[in-house]
């Protein structure tokens, strides 16, 4: 049975070049690829990926760790990661750690340290310094999505800034009675996302001289159902209602819109609603939002990893690029408008 050495001799190429040409890994000229493929076809040779992995020391497999697979943001990131890895000829091993601390510990301190993955993408998980260093020590480059990870490449959006921008949008329309729906305390564990977005809201309100009313600061679990329940309590609590709601996610904004309908409130004529995410349902509900392109973040994470694994990073440090702020897009739709007549600031 012919081997890769036979193919290399017939093609007049090195074994390494033939391996790259047939596996699709690494740079090979079009002419060399054609010669290797022609020689392999003539000899009836099929590349053994197992043998290739043994020779290269890599498995062409990336581990992706997420807190949940049924939540929109995480699943969207995974979609972006999966598509980019497939295009790059890599497999994906998905670790769904959930809220189980023991499972999370085992994945980060055991499974990822085994010789099954070449690199790791951690989504919305704040790894400890020890967890980062032990992965880097065995040459498992890391890309984090959602917040800074010292010593690793990270991709994040400016959560504080976009929350401030969302609130300023409502203030600019003339709203003074603005409520904020934040995330439950459980979501503060990694990168303190709810608190960061609430901080942006509060800064915008204080800068505009607007009152922040405690009874209009409510929380939910970042789901449509959870936000629907919280918004019903917010909108039905007293005779005076807010004229606008800034929700820390699109799903919570959609839950707020659905709750408003229960009270006969028209969006945006009686209540303006804005979210953050770029969720597909946002277009259906006419939701004004700030799109963070979750799939694009996943694809960029793969680009960072593969540029290091394939030796394309000029720094030569396995893709470590520091903290990268991912661009967002402000999308204004029909869910926000000027406040109801008589509810805005006096006209001077």
66 occurs within a structural domain = yes
Does 287 share its domain with 298? no
91 occurs within a structural domain = yes
Please give the residue range of the domain that contains residue 173.
159-291
334 occurs within a structural domain = no
342 occurs within a structural domain = no
Task: For residue range 124-147, list pLDDT tens digits in order.
Answer: 998 888 888 888 888 889 999 999
Which of 219-228, 293-302, 309-318 has the least mean pLDDT?
Answer: 309-318
Over residues 23-38, mean pLDDT:
80
Last residue of a domain, one of 274, 291, 308: 291
- At residue 344, the pLDDT reads 53
- At residue 276, the pLDDT reads 97
CB 217 within 8 A of CB 205: no
Instruction: Provide the pLDDT confidence category of residue 2 given band limits of 50, 70 and 90.
Output: confident
**Over the chain, what is the mean pLDDT?**
87
Higher pLDDT, 43 or 281: 281
Give, as one character, the DSSP assignment of residue 317. Answer: S
336 occurs within a structural domain = no
Whose tokens are 């009270």? That residue is 263
Does 163 share its domain with 269? yes
- At residue 111, the pLDDT reads 83
Task: For residue range 153-183, list pLDDT tens digits in order.
Answer: 999 999 999 999 999 999 999 999 999 999 9
* Closest-CA residue to 126 (of 193, 38, 73, 174): 193
- At residue 120, the pLDDT reads 93
Higher pLDDT, 52 or 19: 19
Q: Whole-angstrom Cα distance, residue 301 to residue 143?
A: 6
Sheet holding 119-123, edge to edge: 91-96, 61-66, 119-123, 142-145, 153-156, 323-325
Does 118 share its domain with 208? no
Q: Whole-angstrom Cα distance, residue 341 to residue 23?
A: 66
Does 104 share its domain with 206? no
Which of 102-111, 145-154, 276-285, 298-307 has the least mean pLDDT?
Answer: 102-111
For the chain, the maximum distance between any two Cα atoms, rounded to a whole number of angstroms, is 89
Does 172 share its domain with 98? no
Does 119 share its domain with 170? no
Does 276 share its domain with 208? yes
Over residues 222-240, mean pLDDT:
91
- At residue 135, the pLDDT reads 87
Task: For residue range 249-268, list pLDDT tens digits in order.
Answer: 999 999 999 999 999 999 99
Instruction: Provide the pLDDT confidence category of residue 346 given band limits of 50, 70 and 90.
Output: very low
Which of 117-121, 137-141, 290-294 has the least mean pLDDT?
Answer: 137-141
| pLDDT score of 57 more than 80 | no
Give me the number of domains the chain comprises: 3
Higher pLDDT, 316 or 175: 175
- At residue 26, the pLDDT reads 60
Does 131 share its domain with 189? no
| pLDDT score of 193 more than 60 | yes
Which of 91-100, 185-194, 231-240, 249-258 has the least mean pLDDT?
Answer: 185-194
* Residue 306: CATH number of its domain: 3.40.50.2300
Give the 3-state secondary structure of residue 120.
strand
Does 82 share its domain with 179? no
Does 49 share its domain with 68? no
324 occurs within a structural domain = no
Instruction: Collect all residues with Cβ–Cβ distance below 8 Å to 154 and sequence separation of at least 6.
Output: 143, 144, 145, 147, 148, 322, 323, 324
238 occurs within a structural domain = yes
| pLDDT score of 97 more than 50 | yes
- At residue 54, the pLDDT reads 43
Does 122 share its domain with 227? no
Which of 183-197, 221-235, 254-268 has the least mean pLDDT?
Answer: 183-197
- At residue 319, the pLDDT reads 47
Share of the chain above pLDDT 90, in %: 54
Share of the chain above pLDDT 70, in %: 89
Q: 341: how many CB neighbours lie within 10 A of its CB?
A: 7
Instruction: Provide the pLDDT confidence category of residue 342 given band limits of 50, 70 and 90.
Output: low
Does 16 share its domain with 91? no
215 occurs within a structural domain = yes
């Amino acid at each position: 049975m012919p081997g890769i050495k036979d193919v290399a001799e017939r093609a007049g190429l090195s074994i390494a070049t033939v391996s790259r040409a047939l596996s699709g890994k690494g740079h090979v000229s079009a002419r060399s690829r054609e010669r290797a493929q022609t020689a392999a076809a003539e000899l009836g040779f099929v590349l053994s990926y197992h043998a290739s992995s043994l020779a290269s020391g890599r498995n062409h497999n990336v581990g992706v760790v997420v807190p949940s697979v049924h939540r929109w943001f995480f699943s969207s990131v995974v979609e972006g990661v999966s598509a980019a890895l497939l295009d790059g000829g890599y497999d994906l091993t998905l670790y769904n750690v959930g809220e189980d601390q023991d499972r999370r510990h085992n994945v980060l301190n055991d499974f990822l340290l085994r010789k099954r993955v070449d690199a790791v993408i951690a989504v919305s998980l704040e790894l400890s310094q020890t967890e980062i260093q032990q992965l880097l020590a065995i040459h498992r480059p890391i890309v984090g999505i959602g917040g800074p990870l010292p010593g690793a490449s990270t991709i994040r959006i400016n959560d504080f800034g976009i929350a401030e921008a969302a609130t300023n949008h409502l203030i600019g329309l003339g709203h003074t009675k603005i409520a904020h729906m934040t995330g439950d305390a459980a979501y503060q564990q990694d990168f303190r996302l709810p608190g960061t977005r609430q901080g942006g809201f509060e800064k915008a309100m204080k800068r505009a001289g607007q009152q922040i009313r405690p009874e209009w600061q409510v929380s939910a679990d970042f789901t449509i159902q959870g936000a629907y329940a919280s918004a019903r309590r917010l909108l039905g609590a007293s005779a005076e209602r807010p004229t606008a709601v800034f929700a820390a996610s699109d799903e919570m904004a959609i839950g707020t819109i659905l709750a408003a309908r229960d009270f006969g409130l028209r969006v945006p004529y009686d209540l303006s609603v804005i979210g953050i995410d770029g969720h597909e349902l946002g277009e259906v509900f006419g939701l004004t939002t700030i799109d963070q392109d979750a799939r694009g973040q996943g694809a960029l994470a793969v680009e960072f990893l593969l540029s290091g694994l394939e030796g394309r990073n000029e720094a030569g440090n396995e893709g470590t690029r520091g903290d990268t702020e991912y661009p967002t897009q402000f999308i204004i739709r029909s869910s926000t408008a000027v406040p109801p007549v008589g509810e805005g600031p006096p006209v001077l």
